[in-house]
Structure 1
Amino acid sequence: MPSTVPDSLDGWWCDSSTEYAFVGFSYEVTACQSRSTLNSEFKDIRETFDGRYVRLYGACDRTGFYDDVIDAAWNNGLGVHALIWFGFEGGSEWKDRRDNLIDTLWNNPKAKFVTRAVQFGSEPLYDYVLDPSDLAGNIWEFKWNIEDLGIPVTISELAYGYQVRGGAQIVLDSIDVLDAHILPYFSQTASTGDAAWKDVNNDLNWFIDHAAGRKIWFSQNGWPSTHYSGVEPNSPDAVADVDNEERYYKLLESKCEFFKSVAGGGVGWFWHIYADWQEPGYGLYAESGKTKFDFKPRTEC
């Protein structure tokens, strides 16, 4: 990062065509990590794994938390895919999160140089937190509020989330990039991590068909190392263990050239999630603090 904050975003971000293959980690923030923890773990993402970005997941409502995220990202040369979190219980807390994020994006001088995109919800269609027309209207309003900051806005969503809402074209028309949830473990035909490509490709093809040339990210993307209550597979053949978590990672690695070729700048994928203490089973790091397997992802091919 430069020693002072630039005056303009001109030439700041790399061309999206260079942002394919592995780009970083989903990072759960419900623990409201301290500034020192954010700095330490963001440094690890950048230096150990060559990550470019962190994609926030969950919510921390502590005052100033996103300022801490911005500082940690700036200090470590990372960008952030921010998130307005609706949660699973209903309620209107998301409105305060939206408004607080707008304030931070305008008032923190580093914010627009760190915030690569804002996700207006994680699976808001699948969870039906708002009617698609209401969701689209809120997205447009949010975009108007940050229009001069040059930050793309999207939702982070399953292909099925769009499909079950009739395609939700009104939402597709409101977003700038497509953040795709790719979770083949939950397919009705799931078996092992290395056999997941058919399901991954089916969902990816849906996003390609509806992207209209826009950038696609695999924002929530992974395979769990263990079953856990409340998040059960839909196939009796789905195998959740460390070996299959690694097999899925290697499957993604084997498709680097294909991801590079996708229109809109290729497909950049996040690993969901940084550590098991953030979300059990999905982390690269086990509860022991050690990585479950050798993870040296390709960032180019």
Structure 2
Amino acid sequence: MTRLETIQNMYGWAGFVYALDACKSRSDMAAVFAAMKAKGARSIITFDYCDNAAFGRDLLNAVNDSDIYIFPQHYSYENNFKNAGLDIPVSISELAYGWQQAGDFSAVQNALDLFMINNFPYFAQNAEEGGSSSTWSKFINDMNYYVSIANGKPLVVTQTVWPSNEDEFAPNSPNIVVNAQSGQDNWNLWMVIVPIFSNPTTSCGCGEIGMIKW
């Protein structure tokens, strides 16, 4: 079974994201990946970029040392992996809004092995409280959009959050509730959402999605 076929049969929570911009050593990355695996992670998603010619090999070796799957999120790595004959699915992670504003994205769309999704109901124009029905509706609407552009490729939710304050992420809705309780309510909503997507036979009212729920 290829890694992509494995992804297509994975459901539920799968792992963590990991930033590459610090350009860590092979041993440092392997230690972090091993700690992630010890917490139940099956996979890691990378983001950002390390401008070091030798880093790509260190990253792959660290993954191999840790015996964990990797989803390289940076589009520029695609040719390096595929030309080397490596069985590593490649993707990028983006908001639905980013795709909708991108114009002709067919070249990227066709190059991806799977779609990694930033799904943030927090940024919706009509966002209210973290556990509200509008939060669920926005999440499902974005998932339906990804179904429409994915052409049957796997969908992986890679990032979602409901902050407890507005210091770093300014909301777009005048009616939003941004505090610790709203964040907790959003987490509680996730505890409902994840089991729905953990079972591929369960209907979620969001189209036919063969996906990992991240």
Q: Normalized against structure 1, the TM-score is what?
A: 0.58
Deviation digits for residues 142-193 of structure 1 (CA, Å, limit 9, x no counterpart)? x6x46x4344333322211222235744543443321111112111122232
Mapped to 2, the partners of 1:200 and 1:12 lie a distance apart of: 27
1:33 to 24, 30, 36: 24
Larger displacement relative to structure 2 (177-186 or 64-73): 64-73
8 Å contact 2:162–2:183 — kept in the other structure? yes
What's 2:128 paired with? 191
What's 1:61 paired with? 51
Mapped to 1, the partners of 2:111 and 2:20 lie a distance apart of: 27
Mapped to 2, the partners of 1:168 and 1:63 lie a distance apart of: 28
2:160 to 213, 221, 225: 221
Structure 2: any 5+ residue segments left out of the alignment? 201-206
Deviation digits for residues 216-264 of structure 1 (CA, Å, limit 9, x no counterpart)? 01123223343235x4211233344444444333322312343243645
Mapped to 1, the partners of 2:102 and 2:4 lie a distance apart of: 34
What's 1:20 paired with? 11
**2:121 is matched by which residue type in structure 1?**
P
Mapped to 2, the partners of 1:226 and 1:37 lie a distance apart of: 32
1:216-295 aligned at under 5 Å gives the runs 216-229=155-168, 231-259=169-197, 260-261=199-200, 263=208, 265-269=210-214
Q: Aligned-residue CA RMSD in angstroms?
A: 3.0
**2:158 is matched by which residue type in structure 1?**
S
8 Å contact 1:213–1:263 — kept in the other structure? no
**2:167 is matched by which residue type in structure 1?**
Y
**2:42 is matched by which residue type in structure 1?**
R
**1:81 is matched by which residue type in structure 2?**
F
**1:199 is matched by which residue type in structure 2?**
K
Structure 1: any 5+ residue segments left out of the alignment? 1-9, 86-96, 106-142, 270-301
8 Å contact 2:47–2:74 — kept in the other structure? no
| SS at 1:194 equivalent | coil
Mapped to 1, the partners of 2:166 and 2:62 lie a distance apart of: 33
Deviation digits for residues 34-80 of structure 1 (CA, Å, limit 9, x no counterpart)? 444323322221112x1111111212223433333323322322111
Mapped to 2, the partners of 1:84 and 1:12 lie a distance apart of: 17
Mapped to 2, the partners of 1:79 and 1:160 lie a distance apart of: 28
**1:40 is matched by which residue type in structure 2?**
A
Q: Normalized against structure 2, the TM-score is what?
A: 0.78
Mapped to 2, the partners of 1:227 and 1:246 lie a distance apart of: 15
**1:185 is matched by which residue type in structure 2?**
Y
Q: Which of the pair is proportionally richer in helix?
A: 2
Mapped to 2, the partners of 1:208 and 1:263 lie a distance apart of: 8
Identity of aligned residues (%): 28
Mapped to 1, the partners of 2:88 and 2:26 lie a distance apart of: 24
